Amino acid sequence: MIKLLQRTGLFLCLVFIALRCYASEQIVVVYPDLEQPYSQVFETIIEGIGSGSAELSLLKVKDKESQSVGEWFSNKKPSAIIALGSTGYRHNDQFPKDIPLVFGAVRNIPPSRSGVSLNIDPANLFHALKNTNKAYKRLYVVYNPKRYLDWIILAKSVADDMKIEVVGFEASSLREAMDHYKTIFDQENLEESVLWLPLDSSVVNNKVVIPYLLKESWDKNLAVASSVVGHVKRGLLMSIFPDNQAMGLQLAQLALERHSGSVRSHSKQARFAINTRTARHLGIIFNEPFQEQVEIEYPSAR
Amino acid sequence: MLADFVDKRRLSFRHQLLVVATLGLFSLAIAGTLTTTWLVNRHSEDVLLKQARLITDNLAEQSLLAVLYQSVENARLPIEHTLKFPGVDAAAIVSHELGTVHQKGSFPAAINVESLSLTDNSEPISLDNGWIFYARILSDDGLGQDDPFGIGENTVEELGIAVVFVTNALLQQTQREVLLNNMGVAFVIALVLAGLVNFGVNRLVRPMSALAKVMIQVEEEGEYRKADSNGPLEIRVIAHTFNQMMDALKVRDDMLRRHKDHLEHEVTMRTKDLEQARDAALIANRHKSAFLANVSHELRTPLQSIIGYTEVVKEELELEGLDNYINDLDTVIRNAERLLALINNTLDLAKVEAGKMEVKLDDYELQPLLREAVDTITPILDKNNNEMSTRYPDDYLCAFVDREKLLQVIINLLGNANKFTSGGKISLGVSFDDNWIMVAVVDTGIGLSEAQQEEVFNEFSQVDHGTDRGYEGTGLGLAICQHFCKLMGGDIGVESELGQGATFIVKLPRSRT
């Protein structure tokens, strides 16, 4: 009995010491001072970062505060820094060089930097496609190779397992993108294909491209998916957008892992929105388990 | 200048006020119109330019699809919508790669829409007949540089430009209409205000005009009128003061009139008294003259008898050799003769004053008469050791005189000169001009003071002169001389200084006038 008590006490001490050591990690989150609705995005990400074990220290900055950011770090020694959004990225030269730095809440992580982009992991897209009554054979993507090539590569590696062909069209301007969209819509058997719209305004324009795609995809029964919930509201089939809280946790883990090189990843956890009217038009039926995961439906029926 | 004008025109106060007020009102109307028009024009131009800017930006936004597809069909609708806006004469969508996608309307000849260089979206190209607005056609999602999730991504492409020509003809027409309308309204208001000012000024100056009218009536008619105390405070004060002045003038005039009546009464009374006194004096003088004439006549007769009988007695005593009594008789005779001379003078003076002295005027040669006088006086010159000299002109001189009286005057003057001169010189001179002969008797005697000169021709003046007690004479001689000269149409005067001798000048007419 005494031995049992001794062993239990020793275990509890070890657990306490381990927790104590882990909780001593401190992460500084640098995020922009913005109004709604953008501020809501950053608050959710920060909430996700805070759901980890590290102690958080928040620094809300404006675009023109580079000097004060440097001063703020002069007497601080955090374990890692997470810079959120374009504002956080623009202040990176003010951060201490010897502290691990990761970027988040940006569309693309620049080369040689570490972070989690707002682009969803392609696996989520394929997961959604797998849960329909359709057997998709092709995934069309018009993309800018400067910013989206790694996603394409990743998508292709995932798609091979699902026997889906990823057909990428490189475009460096909106005009080229429009030409590619025309080419896609001229293809045969579009019912077996899906068009994915990257989170990149150089190839997707809300004013011109989206209306065009809406019309053509409706007419030619092409399923279109993107990362923007608003597109679904406007009539696209599906939106797969990042789970910001999960992305926050992903950022915290990446920051504390202290990788020596560049680690660029996409948001692994995604949320789903579908347009049921478009789905009916395309004859797409999502299975029950997937429908359970869908958070937003348009038009709002339920 | 306005003040000079109204002053030179000698306009009334009311007219001056109306001229100034009316000119002021019209100046205000013109200034207000020009200012308002200028402000409205500026505002209109600003609004037009802002509207044109929005139209062009809107066209640029709607042109994205047309530029991307090079599609005239996509370009037609936004251009037609753009041309519906007032003042928009032409619109074009130009692609940077392929040139003009679509154009409608006519741009000014100097403008080539495909060669426009874009430097700033906000500044239009200003032309004589309007403005060229242009805007970039951008592949902008609306986030631009404020995208909180983009880093180092310049995804906004410039695909072309939207060009709009906005004419200023409509603006100029509007500005002209605004100017004309404003001018019309302002002049009508100015006219109405001028009428109101006229009405107000009339009411305002009416009491003053009435007051001026009363003043003019007072000036023209000389009557004391009172003005009505109406109108503004200042006019009431003036009218009140004027009425008080009228009252005071009336009271003073009444007093003057009463005083004048009193004075006239006094003058009448005094005049009457004086006339009575004068009449009494004249009567008394006449009585005196008559008395003197009578008395003189009555005295001369026995006096001449005395002289005559005394001379008889003296002759008899001389014959008998009783010389001791002769001197006494001489004294009697001399005093009797003096008394006779006094009586004769008194008789002459009495006759003159009574107007009974007769003169027998005629033309007489002067030199013989004067020599006779000198001959008469020469025997007595030695008595005072005086020397006598004469100075007559060679010309024949004839005077229109009474010979006896002129002789008496000259003798009298020579006698006086001898009497008041001792060891001196006496001269008798004559001068003349066309009308007059001047006979001067000059002595170097005791002379006369100015006071004595003023009294020397009065009766009995010598008697009244205390210093002359040592000289014989009645004091009537010069008075008689003056009367005789005046009776002959001439005059007599004296020039002298005390101790420096005297000059008596007799002025005689040369002919009958």
**DSSP string of B9-38?**
TT--HHHHHHHHHHHHHHHHHHHHHHHHHH
Of A27, A82, A14, A22, which is closest to residue A53 (Cα–Cα)?
Answer: A22
Closest residue of chain B to A31, computed from CA coordinates: B148
Chain B positions touching A105 (Cβ under 8 A) are: 148-149
Of B181, B167, B189, B192, which is closest to residue B37 (Cα–Cα)?
Answer: B181
Q: How far apart are CA B258 and CA B265, in angstroms?
A: 10
Chain A positions touching B143 (Cβ under 8 A) are: 201
Residue B424 tokens read as 């001196």
User: How many Å lie between the alpha carbon of A43 and the closest alpha carbon of chain B?
Assistant: 14
As a three-state string, the secondary structure of B64-127 is HHHHHHCCHHHHHHHHHHHHCCCCEEEEEEEECCCEEEEEEECCCCCCCHHHCCCCCCCCCEEE
State whether A86 and B139 contact (CB < 8 Å): no
Confidence at residue A20, expressed as pLDDT on a 0 to 100 scale: 46
The torsion angles phi and psi of B496, rounded to 5 degrees, stand at -160, 160
Confidence at residue B65, expressed as pLDDT on a 0 to 100 scale: 82
* Interface with A, mutate which of B59, B67, B68, B146 (most A CBs under 10 A): B68
A64 part of contact set with chain B, CB < 8 Å: no
State whether B141 and A212 contact (CB < 8 Å): no
A266 part of contact set with chain B, CB < 8 Å: no
As a three-state string, the secondary structure of B143-192 is CHHHCCCCCCCCCCCEEEEEEEEEECHHHHHHHHHHHHHHHHHHHHHHHH
Q: How far apart are CA A175 and CA B137, in angstroms?
A: 13
User: Do the bridges between strand B491-496 and strand A80-84 make them parallel or antiparallel, or are there none, so unpaired?
Assistant: unpaired
Confidence at residue B468, expressed as pLDDT on a 0 to 100 scale: 46
Confidence at residue B118, expressed as pLDDT on a 0 to 100 scale: 66
A207 part of contact set with chain B, CB < 8 Å: yes
Q: Tell me what percent of the residues of chain A surpass a pLDDT of 70.
A: 90
Equal fold, A2-106 vs A120-243+271-298: yes
The CATH number of the domain covering residues in A120-243+271-298: 3.40.50.2300
CB-based contacts of B378, cutoff 8 Å, min separation 6: B388
Query: What is the separation of C-alpha B430 from the centre of its chain, rounded to a whole number of angstroms?
Result: 53
Confidence at residue B389, expressed as pLDDT on a 0 to 100 scale: 93
User: How many Å lie between the alpha carbon of A17 and the closest alpha carbon of chain B?
Assistant: 40
Cβ atoms B484, B402 nearer than 8 A: yes
State whether B152 and A201 contact (CB < 8 Å): no
The torsion angles phi and psi of B479, rounded to 5 degrees, stand at -65, -40
Of B427, B395, B410, B407, which is closest to residue B506 (Cα–Cα)?
Answer: B410
Residue B94 tokens read as 């130009």
Return the amino acid letter for B320. E
pLDDT, one tens digit per residue, over A210-239 is 999 999 999 999 999 999 999 999 999 999
Q: Would you mind telling me the total number of residues written for chain A in this entry?
A: 302
Confidence at residue A301, expressed as pLDDT on a 0 to 100 scale: 52
What angle, 0 to 180 degrees and rounded to 10, lies between the N-to-C axes of helices B233-320 and B169-221? Answer: 40
CB-based contacts of B54, cutoff 8 Å, min separation 6: none
User: Do the bridges between strand A55-61 and strand A26-32 make them parallel or antiparallel, or are there none, so unpaired?
Assistant: parallel
Confidence at residue B120, expressed as pLDDT on a 0 to 100 scale: 54
Helices (H), B321-428: 323-353, 366-377, 403-419
pLDDT, one tens digit per residue, over A183-209 is 999 998 899 999 999 988 888 888 888
- In the three-class reduction of DSSP (H, G, I as helix; E, B as strand; rest coil), residue A153 is classed as helix
Q: Which residues pair with A265 in a beta bridge?
A: A116
CB-based contacts of A130, cutoff 8 Å, min separation 6: A162
pLDDT, one tens digit per residue, over A8-27 is 555 554 444 444 444 568 89
Cβ atoms A206, A237 nearer than 8 A: no
Where residue A129 falls (left for φ over 0; alpha for ψ -120 to 50; beta otherwise) is: alpha
Residues in B whose CB is inside 8 Å of some CB of A read 61, 64-65, 68-69, 97, 139-143, 147-153, 155-157, 159
State whether B148 and A85 contact (CB < 8 Å): yes
What confidence tier does A302 reach under pLDDT thresholds 50, 70, 90? very low
* Interface with A, mutate which of B58, B143, B146, B149 (most A CBs under 10 A): B149
The CATH number of the domain covering residues in A2-106: 3.40.50.2300
pLDDT, one tens digit per residue, over A114-168 is 999 999 999 999 999 989 988 899 999 999 998 889 899 999 998 988 889 999 9
Cβ atoms B498, B444 nearer than 8 A: no
Q: Let me know how many helices (H) and strands (E) chain B has, helices first.
A: 12, 12
DSSP secondary structure code for residue A225 in this structure: E
Of A155, A117, A123, A92, which is closest to residue A251 (Cα–Cα)?
Answer: A117
Of B335, B369, B353, B386, which is closest to residue B476 (Cα–Cα)?
Answer: B353
Chain A positions touching B61 (Cβ under 8 A) are: 207
Chain A positions touching B142 (Cβ under 8 A) are: 206-207
pLDDT below 70 — which residues of chain B? 1-10, 117-122, 141-146, 152-155, 461-473, 513
Chain A positions touching B150 (Cβ under 8 A) are: 86, 106-107, 201
Query: What is the separation of C-alpha A101 from the centre of its chain, rounded to a whole number of angstroms?
Result: 18
Q: In chain B, what are the domains?
A: 2-140+155-175 (3.30.450.20), 358-509 (3.30.565.10)
Helices (H), chain A: 2-23, 38-50, 66-73, 85-90, 122-130, 145-162, 174-185, 209-220, 229-234, 244-257, 276-282, 288-293
Domain locations along chain A: 2-106, 120-243+271-298
State whether A86 and B159 contact (CB < 8 Å): no
Cβ atoms A241, A225 nearer than 8 A: no
Q: How far apart are CA B418 and CA B422, in angstroms?
A: 7
State whether A207 and B143 contact (CB < 8 Å): no
Lowest mean pLDDT, pick from A246-255, A257-266, B48-57, B146-155: B146-155
Cβ atoms A79, A50 nearer than 8 A: no
